[in-house]
């Protein structure tokens, strides 16, 4: 025995299209807000830079929502993200990025960090780039216990440039 249905023809197609539209809208909103969050954590994905008439190279960074200066750059030609850290003695690199950048692990030693004492391995970066500032032969530490994809740009690199903070911007200058 069959029962008659009261559904209008095409009603199920309309409901299906509504569900698909809703899902596509959620995907679009997720992508939009994901990009906005990334921009808030790293407002310097393409840092502003210039070269002054006297040959000084200058990079201007904006502070992120947490009050840090984060910027994209390169280590040995590999794209990376730096967190400027004047409290770090060396440039500290997670092991995964060190492998990708072909950095050679040197002698092991202990380093005091915010997370306690950890074992790190000495290395040298052939070329470090931030905007149009290029530094060569930089002392660094490969830090296996460091998770994530951010490199701490410490004083072994920052000592070679001049930097000035005003308001929410940090200006880095490399003298000729």
- pLDDT tens readout for residues 134-164: 999 999 999 999 988 999 999 999 999 999 9
Domain extent listing, the chain: 9-41, 48-174
Closest-CA residue to 172 (of 134, 123, 124): 134
Q: Which of 169 and 112 is assigned the larger pLDDT?
A: 169
pTM for this prediction: 0.76
The confidence score (pLDDT) of residue 162 equals 96
26-46 per-position pLDDT tens digit? 666 666 655 554 445 788 998
In the sheet that 48-51 helps form, which strands lie side by side, from edge to edge?
48-51, 57-62, 169-174, 162-166
Could you name the CATH architecture of 48-174? Beta Barrel (2.40)
B/e letters for 105-128, b = 16+ CB within 10 Å, e = fewer, are eeeeeebebeeeeeebbebebeeb
């Amino acid at each position: 025995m069959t029962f008659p249905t009261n559904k209008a023809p095409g009603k199920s197609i309309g409901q299906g299209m509504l569900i698909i539209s809703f899902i596509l809208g959620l995907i679009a909103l997720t992508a939009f807000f994901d990009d906005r969050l990334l921009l808030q954590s790293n407002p310097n994905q393409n840092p502003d830079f210039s070269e002054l008439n006297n040959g000084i190279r200058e990079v201007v960074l904006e502070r992120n929502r947490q009050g840090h200066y984060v910027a994209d750059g390169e280590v040995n030609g590999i794209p990376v993200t730096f967190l400027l850290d004047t409290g770090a003695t060396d440039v500290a690199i997670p092991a995964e990025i060190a492998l990708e950048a072909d950095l050679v692990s040197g002698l092991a030693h202990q380093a005091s960090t915010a997370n306690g004492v950890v074992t790190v391995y000495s290395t040298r970066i052939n070329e470090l780039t931030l905007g149009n500032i290029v530094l060569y032969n930089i002392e660094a530490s490969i830090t296996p216990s460091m998770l994530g994809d951010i490199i701490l740009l410490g004083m072994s690199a920052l000592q070679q440039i001049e930097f000035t903070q005003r308001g929410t911007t940090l200006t880095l200058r490399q003298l000729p």
